[in-house]
Every structure is written in structure tokens, then in C-alpha cells.
């Protein structure tokens, strides 16, 4: 009875672990379901390493079990003093050479992949985006297209996109697990990587370097669209002029307040504002209404937006927006939110890809 109870307990434990671990990955936020070149290369290396390690594990465990059970002293065996040996050149050579071979098997493809992923010789022929990390958001400048945006990065499917990474403040790390490996974002030198996504969709990106109290909220998205949609999006972004937006009365009042209250001194509402190379203070809001999330984690709804404007620090501790603007009453917040939720330059949106 006792034995079967403990067996049951072990089974239950195993089941629980399987259940918990199986929920570890989200399909658009996991390196284990690769949807891009870099992630694919990483996955191949993960598999190779796992196979080699499993082989080592099995050999060691089998040898151990064999030794324990085969050579243990059995009932009635005479007490003997085993022959004392020392040094065995053949054995020592074997257990030195085998690990070296195993390390080479893992090292060669790793080094090859590392160099391939760092190769930027064809950079000029592809889309280039200057990516700047800020506490706790990301700014994107599409170099040749001369458009800027933040948080949601639009890229075409099945083509290389080069990212030139730098930070305005502390160290960050750019990581879209489903599409590529991560790369450090330093303040003094530009680090370049490329991403190439194989499937359309919205992929979740994470800052992978501890950068302050809201590090875990420094999320972003890579929106992978078809080539036609990408061209359309670029054109829409280039043509967009928020002054020309036809707004309803409330939103128009919101736009006036947005300027009056100084929001505009940190947040652009037109992509063109930075192309001269000036740097933004706060996230570019050009396509705010099209965002998959804002402030990294919030759905772009009226409710979450008013909550955010009321007290950003309650949602994202340590963000630099808190305390930079005066008191706004509920009515003013409501109008500003209404305005932001109409900033939609294009029909190509993250929502249409989610
Ligand atoms: Cu930026 Cu963590």
C-alpha cells in the first residue's frame, strides 16, 4: 500500500512538472519554435549540444550503474583486498580524446554560425534600421526610408533587416527570441545584427539586460508583414501628417491639449520629426493607435491609456515621463487619450497580424 502511494506521488509530481514546463513558452516569445534565421541557427546548435550531452550522460550513467551492480560484494563473497593499480595510459588517452572530439563537434558549428550571424558585408543592400534603447522603450529610424517610430518595428517577411543598435542611457540588450539571438546595446559603440523572419506575425521582443526597475517591462514587438504590406506601410508613414488628420471634436480638443500641455516637446506625432537626426525625448507616437501594446505592456485601449497618463509610475516604475507634466484633470486626459487613439497612419497594423 505504502509503495503504491509513493509511486502515485512520484507520478503526480512528474505530471505536474510536465504541465508547468509545457506552459513555459509562448509561441511568439520562444527560441524553441524558431521563426527566423538567427533563431533557427540557435535551435540547431541547441539540438546538437543536447544530443552530445545526452550521449555523455547515458554513457556515464550506464557505466556507473554497471559498476555498482555488477561488481558489488555479494552475500558469501570472501573478503579480499583488490589488486591495487595506478595509471593506465590507454584509458587516460581515451577519456581525454573523446571529450576533445565532443567539444570540437559542438565548437565548429557554433563558431561558423557566430561568424555568419555577425557578417555585415551585404548590409548596404538591405533595409537598415537605427535602433536606440532608452529606459524603458525603443526608438527606430528607418535609414533610407526616412521614417521613425518606436516600440513596434515593422519589417517585411523573408528578407534581411539590419539593426544598428545603440543606447542613450544604460546598457540594454535587444532580443526577439522567435526570430533571432540577442545582442548587447552599448552607449559608446554601434552593434549591428540582422534579423530575417520566415513567417508573418507579431513577435514579442524583450530587453535582456538588467537596466533598472522597469527592465522586465521594456517589451517591444516586431511586426512581420508581406513585402507589399511593408511598402504600403512605409509609404503611409512617409505621407502621414497628423495635422491633416480628420478628427472628431473631442479628439481635436485632445490634439490642442497635447500641444498646450507640452506633450509635444517629448513625443512626436509625425514620423518625419526626427529625420534631421535630432533625438527624441519620449517615444514617437506616430502610429500610436496601431500599436500592439504601448508602454511595452498595455493594450492600446482608452481605459489603459487614461490609467497610464494619470500615473505612469504605478504601471512602469522609474519611467522618465512621471512628473514631467502638470496636473491634468479627467476631462483633459480623456481628450488626449481620444486624440492618441486616432493616430493611425496606415491600414497595415499590428492588430491585423496578431
Ligand atoms: Cu533595457 Cu532591460
| Closest ligand 1 atom to 209 CA | 2
DSSP 220-266: EEEEEE-HHHHHHHHHHHHH--GGG----HHHHHHHHHHHHTTGGGT
Q: What's the pLDDT tens digit per position in 124-156? A: 999 999 999 999 999 999 999 989 999 999 999
Residue at grid coordinates 483633459: 332
**CA 320 centroid distance within chain:** 22
Residue 326 confidence class, pLDDT cut points 50, 70, 90:
confident
Q: What's the pLDDT tens digit per position in 165-203? A: 999 999 999 999 999 999 999 999 999 999 999 999 999
Q: Residue 252: phi, psi to the nearest 5?
A: -65, -40
Cα–Cα distance between 96 and 201 in angstroms, integer? Answer: 48
Cα–Cα distance between 236 and 344 in angstroms, integer? Answer: 9
pTM: 0.85
Q: Is the CB of 172 under 6 A from ligand 1?
A: yes
Cα–Cα distance between 27 and 32 in angstroms, integer? Answer: 9
Cα–Cα distance between 148 and 160 in angstroms, integer? Answer: 19
Structure-block grid coordinates of residue 309:
497618463
Q: Is the CB of 218 under 6 A from ligand 1?
A: yes
- In this prediction, what percent of the chain has a pLDDT beyond 70? 94
Q: Is the CB of 206 under 6 A from ligand 1?
A: no
Q: Are 115 and 103 in contact (CB under 8 A)?
A: no
Structure-block grid coordinates of residue 138:
525603443
Query: What is the distance in A from the centroid of ligand 1 to the CA of 210?
Result: 5
Q: Is the CB of 290 under 6 A from ligand 1?
A: no
Cα–Cα distance between 220 and 170 in angstroms, integer? Answer: 17
Query: What is the distance in A from the centroid of ligand 1 to the CA of 151?
Result: 13
Q: What's the pLDDT tens digit per position in 249-286? A: 888 899 999 988 888 888 888 876 555 556 788 898 98
Q: Is the CB of 217 under 6 A from ligand 1?
A: no
Amino acid at each position: 500500500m505504502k509503495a503504491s502511494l509513493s509511486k502515485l506521488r512520484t507520478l503526480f509530481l512528474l505530471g505536474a512538472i510536465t504541465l508547468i514546463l509545457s506552459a513555459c513558452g509562448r509561441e511568439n516569445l520562444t527560441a524553441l519554435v524558431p521563426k527566423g534565421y538567427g533563431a533557427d541557427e540557435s535551435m540547431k546548435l541547441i539540438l546538437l549540444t543536447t544530443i552530445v550531452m545526452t550521449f555523455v550522460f547515458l554513457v556515464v550513467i550506464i557505466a556507473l550503474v554497471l559498476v555498482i551492480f555488477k561488481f558489488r560484494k555479494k552475500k558469501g563473497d570472501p573478503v579480499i583486498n583488490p589488486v591495487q593499480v595506478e595509471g593506465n595510459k590507454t584509458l587516460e588517452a581515451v577519456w581525454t580524446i573523446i571529450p576533445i572530439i565532443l567539444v570540437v563537434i559542438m565548437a565548429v558549428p557554433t563558431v561558423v554560425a557566430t561568424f555568419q550571424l555577425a557578417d555585415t558585408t551585404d548590409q548596404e543592400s538591405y533595409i537598415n534600421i537605427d535602433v536606440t534603447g532608452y529606459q524603458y522603450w525603443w526608438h527606430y529610424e528607418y535609414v533610407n526610408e526616412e521614417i521613425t517610430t518606436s516600440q513596434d518595428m515593422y519589417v517585411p517577411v523573408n528578407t534581411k533587416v539590419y539593426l544598428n543598435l545603440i543606447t542613450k542611457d544604460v546598457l540594454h540588450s535587444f532580443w526577439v527570441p522567435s526570430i533571432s539571438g540577442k545582442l548587447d546595446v552599448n552607449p559608446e559603440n554601434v552593434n549591428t545584427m540582422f534579423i530575417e523572419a520566415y513567417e508573418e506575425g507579431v513577435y514579442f521582443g524583450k530587453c535582456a539586460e538588467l537596466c533598472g526597475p522597469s527592465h522586465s517591462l521594456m517589451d517591444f514587438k516586431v511586426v512581420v508583414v508581406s513585402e507589399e504590406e511593408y511598402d504600403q506601410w512605409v509609404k503611409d508613414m512617409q505621407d502621414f501628417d497628423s495635422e491633416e488628420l480628420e478628427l472628431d471634436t473631442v479628439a481635436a480638443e485632445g490634439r490642442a491639449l497635447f500641444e498646450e500641455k507640452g506633450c509635444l516637446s517629448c513625443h512626436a506625432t509625425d514620423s518625419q520629426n526626427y529625420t534631421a537626426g535630432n533625438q527624441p525625448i519620449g517615444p514617437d507616437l506616430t502610429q500610436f493607435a496601431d500599436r500592439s501594446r504601448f508602454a511595452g505592456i498595455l493594450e492600446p485601449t482608452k481605459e489603459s491609456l487614461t490609467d497610464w497618463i494619470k500615473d505612469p509610475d504605478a504601471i512602469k516604475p522609474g519611467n522618465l515621463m512621471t512628473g514631467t507634466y502638470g496636473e491634468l484633470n479627467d476631462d483633459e486626459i480623456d481628450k488626449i487619450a481620444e486624440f492618441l487613439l486616432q493616430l493611425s497612419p496606415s491600414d497595415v497594423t499590428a492588430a491585423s497580424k496578431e
